[in-house]
Amino acid sequence: MSLFRDDGVVLRAQKLGEADRIITLLTRHHGRVRAVARGVRKTKSKFGARLEPFSHVDVQFFSRGSELLGRGLPLCTQVETIAPYGGSIVTDYGRYTAGTAMLETAERFAENEGEPAVQQYLLLVGGLRTLAAGLHESHLVLDAFLLRSLAVNGYGASFTDCAKCGLDGPNRFFSLPAGGVLCGDCRVPGCAVPSPETLVLLGALLSGDWRTADSCEPRYWREGSGLVAAYLQWHLERGIRSMRYVEK
């Protein structure tokens, strides 16, 4: 039997029997963890309210086997709130849909339970904090999160230099299989040719240049979101269901 502690973001809460829930978290040290929270639906316990999606929490787990590999799911025995991001996310449709797509994407990239995904975890915490603060358009926060999630999982896109030969940008021909823009010599059939402003926007979102991203014209936001969605789709076997609800 063992106790372990970790902080994490609640990705999902599913019903289990009459009163319990199975909570899926993306944790700092253990990657994706599923655990049982007992009795949380029976009363209006604070314990249950802390384990809602989007919450950043510190959890003590109790496991009958050796941590995650033991028999059955671990139990959540103590929960402290670090940041209740859900409060300002679920009350705003744009934030809620963007946030839901972020949780689903994070879960998908952290598919192997118990396998650390520290960078993905840090991106999610940072992304939810930014989303909850409401300082930027929700769909931009989502697109920045998606581009960076792809990057930390080995699918970083290039929006300036040629993804094949490295020729200095700007380059215009965007290829999903090549992982970014291609120069005139390297271009392949089937490239998209987005507006130069859109490519500047995507580069800004990837690098965290909010000044450039915020001041971009909405039509480039839309074109950029389409490319990000296509690029994400290219690298994930199944699409992210919640993407279809995101307002552009």
Q: Which residue has the tokens 């319990």?
A: 20
Contact track, Zn ion, 167-206, x by CB under 5 A: x---------------x--x--------------------
- For residue 9, give the 3-state DSSP assignment: strand
- In the complex, the smallest distance separating the C-beta of residue 91 from Zn ion, rounded to whole angstroms, is 47
Q: Which is nearer to Zn ion, 18 or 168 (CB)?
A: 168
- In the complex, the smallest distance separating the C-beta of residue 169 from Zn ion, rounded to whole angstroms, is 10
Tokens linked to 151: 């990057």
Q: Which is nearer to Zn ion, 72 or 190 (CB)?
A: 190
Q: Residue 96: how many CB atoms within 10 A of its CB?
A: 20
Q: Which stretch binds Zn ion (CB under 5 A): 26-34, 88-96, 142-150, 157-165?
A: 157-165
CB-count exposure of residue 104 (10 Å: 0-12, 13-18, 19+) = middle
Please give the size of the binding site for Zn ion, defined by CB under 5 A: 6
Is residue 88 within 8 Å of residue 95, measured between CB atoms? Answer: yes
CA distances, 246 to each of 4, 131, 168, 214 (Å): 36, 13, 34, 18
Q: Which is nearer to Zn ion, 103 or 162 (CB)?
A: 162
Q: Which stretch binds Zn ion (CB under 5 A): 83-91, 159-167, 219-227, 235-243?
A: 159-167
- For residue 29, give the 3-state DSSP assignment: coil
Tokens linked to 235: 């690298």
Residues 6+ apart with CB under 8 A from 218: none
CB-count exposure of residue 190 (10 Å: 0-12, 13-18, 19+) = exposed
Q: Which residue has the tokens 């995650």?
A: 68
Is residue 73 within 8 Å of residue 218, measured between CB atoms? Answer: no
Q: Which is nearer to Zn ion, 131 or 183 (CB)?
A: 183
- In the complex, the smallest distance separating the C-beta of residue 63 from Zn ion, rounded to whole angstroms, is 51
Q: Which is nearer to Zn ion, 30 or 187 (CB)?
A: 187
Nearest to 13 by CA among 59, 64, 50: 50
Please tell me whether residue 95 binds Zn ion under the rule CB under 5 A.
no
Q: Out of 165, 188, 193, 230, point to the residue binding Zn ion (CB under 5 A).
A: 165
- In the complex, the smallest distance separating the C-beta of residue 147 from Zn ion, rounded to whole angstroms, is 21
- In the complex, the smallest distance separating the C-beta of residue 180 from Zn ion, rounded to whole angstroms, is 10
Q: Please name every residue paired with 52 in a beta bridge, in sequence order, or none if there are none.
A: none
Q: Which is nearer to Zn ion, 168 or 237 (CB)?
A: 168
Q: Which is nearer to Zn ion, 102 or 186 (CB)?
A: 186
Q: Out of 36, 142, 150, 162, point to the residue binding Zn ion (CB under 5 A).
A: 162
- In the complex, the smallest distance separating the C-beta of residue 197 from Zn ion, rounded to whole angstroms, is 21
Q: Which residues bind Zn ion (CB under 5 A)?
A: 162, 164-165, 167, 183, 186
